[in-house]
Amino acid sequence: MGFVSILRHLMKDAEIGKLIVPIVPDEGRTFGLESAIKQVGIYASEGQKYKPHDVDMVLSYREEKDGQILEEGITEAGAMASFTAAGTAYANYHVPTIPFYMYYSMFGFQRVGDMMWAFADARGKGFLMAGTAGRTTMMGEGAAASGWAQPPADERDSDVPELRPGVRVRAGGRRAGRHEADV
C-alpha cells in the first residue's frame, strides 16, 4: 500500500499531479488502488454507465469522463500500448506525462517483456511497478507463477538469492517531467 500512498500524493501535486498516468492491465483493486480510485476516478469515455455494487461504501468503484486512472481490463498488451503512448507523449505531443504501469509480478513481466524493450527503444519515460496487494494468489495463476514458490531450504542452490517480491519506486519523476534528465 506504500506505493499507492506515494502515487496518490504525486497525483495531488499542483505541479505534476495531472501528468501522472496510472495504468492497470486488469482491475485496480487487485493492486490496492481503492483510495486512488476514490480520489481521481477511472477514465471512461462515457462516464459511469451503471451503479457499482459497492456504491454505498467509502471507497467505491468510480468511473469518470475525466478520470485519471487507465484501467484497461484483462489486456496486458493494450495496457502496455497505453503505457507506450503516455511514455512517449513528451516527444510526440510535447506533453510530459509520467506513466506508472502496474503489472502482476513475475508472470506479468513474462507476458509483456518484449513490449517493455520496445518502450525503451522508443525512449519512453515512465515507471514499471510489479506486485499485487494480496488479493490474488500467486500459485493460483498457473505455471508462470510457480517461480514464486520457494523450494525447501535443503534443495536451494546457495549461490542463488531467494525471490522476494517487493515494491521499488525511484526518485526522478519531477526531473523527467521537466525534461531535465532521461530517467
- 22-26, 82-86, 107-111 — most confident range: 82-86
pTM, rounded to two decimals: 0.69
Give pLDDT tens digits for 44-81.
888 888 887 777 877 778 888 999 988 887 888 899 99
> Contact at 8 Å (CB) between 88 and 82?
no
Give pLDDT tens digits for 75-98.
888 999 999 999 999 999 999 999
pLDDT, position 53: 77
DSSP letter, residue 152: P
Give the cell for residue 178: 521537466
pLDDT of 167 higher than 70: no
Q: What is the C-alpha separation between 92 and 163, in angstroms, rounded?
A: 38
